[in-house]
Amino acid sequence: MTQSHTPSAQITIVKCPTCQAEVEWGEQSPFRPFCSKRCQLIDLGEWAEEEKAIPGAPDMSDADGWSEDMGY
């Protein structure tokens, strides 16, 4: 993220996470941080297809040693 300094206002520029185009962060960029609706939907599709994930502890709900068959 880079910032341009002007006497009257400070403008923040970010890179689109999908295509790396520069996007001005403000009301004039309704899809921020994305440059367009297209890039926003590409990113959403990657999350929906589980191509992207937030790292965390593995789900242990099925492997925690408890089973209905074992009479617990």
Binding-site members for Zn(2+) are: 16, 19, 35, 39
Contacts (Cβ under 8 Å, ≥6 apart) of 21: 15, 35, 39
CA 50/CA 65 separation, integer angstroms: 27
